[in-house]
Amino acid sequence: MEIFDKITPLKAFLATKKREGKSIGLVPTMGALHKGHLTLLEVSKQENTLTVCSIYVNPAQFNNQDDLTNYPRNLEKDIHLLKEVGCDVLFCPDNSEMYDASSIISFDFGSLGTVMEGMHRPGHFSGVALVVAKLFNITNPDKAYFGQKDWQQFAIIRQLVEELKFPLTLRGVPTVREADGLAMSSRNQRLSSAQRKHASVFYHILLQAKEALINNVVMEEIKNQATNSIAPYPDIKLEYLELADRVNLTPFNSVGGNNPLILCIAGYVGTIRLIDNMFVDLPTKKEAS
Ligand code: AMP
């Protein structure tokens, strides 16, 4: 695996590979790699001749200084995992390589960026878009891979790609979960063993909520049920549970129309903030009968 921490040599390397006819798949990450990240890399390897992983903990997307300071980092272990999975190129720049002192650009995604994560993490998506746009310009990938676990991020990046005409294909990869349903996340590493046992409650709330929606229960009632579900766990706090249009993220109160819908949840286990989501598809008439 080739490792770069500077933009200029990486660009030159990838330009040569492109001239040789290689297709490039990009998997942007913040490191502390787990099976979710590795799945994205495996999909990229199947679909491209060269896979680039970036590892960069992007300060611009953190709205909470403690979260940035405590974000898990383990480059040596990550390099080992990347070699094991057969990643071709690692890009791991530092802050001075990615941001000039004069950086002033910000992004506004309108209604896509004001709900859910956007509401609770002001500035987050502007920071995500800024770093992803930089990574697209630096690596010029044919395809870029993102996890469905961060669904709103995926919707934001799709908008970015469409509006700024990035010449690439976006690929979404389904969420990889632990055996008890907890969505894999680098932040899970920071949970104590007691907290880890409780953390799958968010997944179970999503399952119950989906079942209730299919039985025509409205979100107001479902949110009350969710509050009851976390009541036995004093270390769990629910931040939001929302039903939304899967494409434009408009909030919905119940199922019934033709829009493809998604349930999104965010909450805390102790001081660790976790998110998750689940598609809600009504059973087809044949399935229901
Ligand atoms: P992160 O390092 O958390 O910024 O994540 C890097 C990429 O991996 C993003 O596109 C995430 O959506 C994706 N990702 C994170 N966790 C998972 C997971 N459990 N399953 C699938 N993709 C994931």
3-state SS of 70-104 is HCCCCHHHHHHHHHHHCCCEEECCCHHHHCCCCCC
Distance 176 CA to ligand 1 centre (A): 9
Residue 278: DSSP 8-state: E
pLDDT band at 150 (very low <50, low <70, confident <90, very high): very high
pLDDT of residue 282 exceeding 90, the answer is: no
pLDDT > 70 fraction of the chain, expressed in percent and rounded: 98
pLDDT of residue 162 exceeding 70, the answer is: yes
Long-range contacts, stretch 5-9, CB < 8 angstroms, 24+ apart: 5/91, 5/92, 5/93, 5/94, 5/97, 6/93, 6/97, 7/93, 7/97, 7/138
pLDDT of residue 65: 95
pLDDT band at 21 (very low <50, low <70, confident <90, very high): very high
Residue list, ligand 1 pocket, CB within 6 Å: 29-30, 36-37, 39-40, 146-147, 149-150, 173, 175-176, 183-186
* Alpha carbon nearest to ligand 1 atom 22, residue: 147
pLDDT of residue 189 exceeding 70, the answer is: yes
pLDDT of residue 287 exceeding 60, the answer is: no
pLDDT band at 266 (very low <50, low <70, confident <90, very high): very high
The model's pTM: 0.96
What contacts 175, CB < 8 A, 6 or more positions away? 36, 147, 148, 149, 183, 184, 276, 277
37 belongs to the catalytic site: yes
What contacts 219, CB < 8 A, 6 or more positions away? 213, 241, 242, 243, 252, 253, 254
- Among 67, 87, 149, 185, name the best residue to mutate to test ligand 1's pocket (greatest count of ligand atoms within 8 A of Cβ): 149
- Which has more pLDDT, 51 or 103? 51
pLDDT of residue 257 exceeding 80, the answer is: yes
Distance 145 CA to ligand 1 centre (A): 9
**Arithmetic mean of pLDDT over the chain:** 96
Distance 73 CA to ligand 1 centre (A): 15
What's the average model confidence in pLDDT over 259-268?
97
> Choosing from 34, 37, 120, 198, which is the catalytic residue?
37
pLDDT of residue 138 exceeding 80, the answer is: yes
The Cα 213–Cα 75 span in angstroms is: 42
The Cα 85–Cα 80 span in angstroms is: 9
The Cα 52–Cα 175 span in angstroms is: 20
pLDDT of residue 258: 85
The Cα 83–Cα 81 span in angstroms is: 5
- Among 26, 30, 37, name the best residue to mutate to test ligand 1's pocket (greatest count of ligand atoms within 8 A of Cβ): 37
pLDDT band at 167 (very low <50, low <70, confident <90, very high): very high
Distance 130 CA to ligand 1 centre (A): 18
* pLDDT tens, residue by residue, 216-247: 999 999 999 999 999 999 999 999 999 999 99
* pLDDT tens, residue by residue, 117-131: 999 999 999 999 999
pLDDT > 90 fraction of the chain, expressed in percent and rounded: 94
What contacts 210, CB < 8 A, 6 or more positions away? 263, 278, 280
pLDDT of residue 13: 98
Tokens of 259: 């829009």
* Alpha carbon nearest to ligand 1 atom 10, residue: 146
